[in-house]
Chain A
Amino acid sequence: MNARRVVVTGLGCVSALGLNVGDTWEQLCAGRDGASAIALPDAAALRFQRGAQIHHFDAVALLDRRQAESMDRFAQLGMVAGLEAVRDASIAWTPELQSMAAVITGTGGGGVASIENALSDMWRGDRRGMPVMSIPRFMPNALSSQLTMHFGLMGPSYTLSTACASSNHAIGHAYWLVRSGASDIALAGGADSPFSVGQLKAWEALRVIAPNQCRPFSADREGMILGEAGAMLVLEPLDAAVARGAQIYAEIVGFGMSADAHHLTKGLVEGAALAIQRALVDAALPPEAIGYINAHGTGTVTNDAMESAAVRRVFGVHTNRVAVSSTKSMHGHALGASGAIEAVATVLALRHGILPPTANYALADAQCDLDVVPNVARACRVEYALSNSFAFGGLNAVLAFRRWSGGDA
């Protein structure tokens, strides 16, 4: 079968900026930092006190009660995002479509908080054993499985865990499944929720968390702000989407991956550049076609300098004409969900002709010599955009999207 063109027809998102896509996008455009004081009983024991935590998420109100109770918070976030994306795409499920529907999700930590809390109860003597639902809540593939069960989807379904690149890898694989004809529709994205004391203490030990604010690419940056989120996209073949009169947000046109083969936490310019180049090759695009990059942009000293060098290496003199922003400055670093929420932001940036800014930007850094769209969203119609994810462990994934103009189907 010839490669099929693939379009995004549904979006769902739950983040510290909002419990749906509309609210999240509005806050992104306003340049609002979603970080707040971490609400956890033992938060005072942490060296950092702020995170992009979702404070008013009531899973039982948004999902079936039993369904909600069978899930860790990460899967609840992803499930709510998945429901929104499917609703948004107005899919009319048929047995044939369900049979060929893929569900590909990404997560870094899965339901580790459920295990952490149950172990804590057991070791304190509050329980004699682990709850029956410990493993079903913990398993990183819980979100994929729950989505398949909820919608009756029987195509390829799996979960990728590549730390902070997890959901870019998931969306990229889903794109390839639909493009190749292996699936006729895909739900793709990811979810993560690191707000348990054990997880936060583990991040604290790595010394990459900013004490107050995430300031990507700014000379005074001090690290990342952790976030939690669920975000999902519906991908369909262009022909099918047009035939059923679906709304089309954007076309997904390329996916590139690489490994640094270098260091567990320090990214490598060559590895990141390779993933960007491969996304461009997969999309059959020259670097000059790209107008916007949603950066990995964690706000750590090392990542942002490395990413800037990688962008400059790939784009050369064109670098100065590419807008590059880090929306992590607003929704925080949602780890395995980051790629998905950033894909949503990238798709909406193309659709609305508005580039979300890098919030909290204060001081130019010669090592991050990019047009970072500082602090204020920019009206700018862009034809092609990239979304970068460069994970701990040196695993890189880059997606390429095209603005949907509607007239060239």
Chain B
Amino acid sequence: MEQDLIDKIVARTAREAGLPVEQVAMDSSFEALGIDSLTAMALIGELEDDLNVQLSNEEIMQIRTVRDAIVNIQVAVDRSSAA
């Protein structure tokens, strides 16, 4: 997993949640961080635009935690690099 990518996703999540990055654990669910499903989807959408990658509907729908987001976005980055 690329550290830059992890840092970017954690930082973006922390900003949305209004928390310091130290309080965003990899296994934190977006819901537990006070980020509802629609806002989480918007957050992932912004990251897709920033990184110029696309996640499938299925990949997005299975994201519950910060780790899920990192894993699925990394897969999309790898897919994009391989294309």
Contacts and interface: CB of A to CB of B under 8 A. Distances in A.
A301 B58 CA distance: 10
Residue among B54, B58, B60 having the largest count of chain A Cβ atoms under 10 Å: B58
B32 interface: no
Contacts of B78: none
Interface stretch (A160-168, A261-269, A324-332, A338-346): A261-269
Contacts of B37: 263, 265-266
A222 B57 contact: yes
A388 B37 CA distance: 24
Nearest to B58: A222
A207 B60 contact: yes
Given A263-B38, A264-B38, A301 B45 contact: no
A7 B8 CA distance: 60
Given A263-B38, A301-B61, A205 B54 contact: no
A263 B36 contact: yes
Contacts of B61: 207, 301
A324 to B, nearest CB: 24
Interface residues of B, number: 10
A223 interface: yes
B41 interface: yes
Contacts of A207: 41, 57, 60-61
A223 B61 CA distance: 11
A206 interface: yes
Nearest to A223: B57
Contact of A206 (B36, B41, B54, B58): B41
B45 A205 contact: yes
A260 to B, nearest CB: 13
A301 B37 CA distance: 14
A87 interface: no
Contacts of B41: 206-207
A55 interface: no
Interface of B: 36-38, 41, 45, 54, 57-58, 60-61
Interface of A: 47, 205-209, 211, 222-223, 263-266, 301
16 contacts: A47-B54, A207-B57, A207-B60, A207-B61, A208-B57, A211-B57, A222-B57, A222-B58, A223-B57, A263-B36, A263-B37, A263-B38, A265-B37, A265-B38, A266-B37, A266-B38
Given A47-B54, A207-B41, 8 more contacts: A205-B45, A207-B57, A211-B57, A222-B57, A222-B58, A263-B36, A263-B37, A265-B38
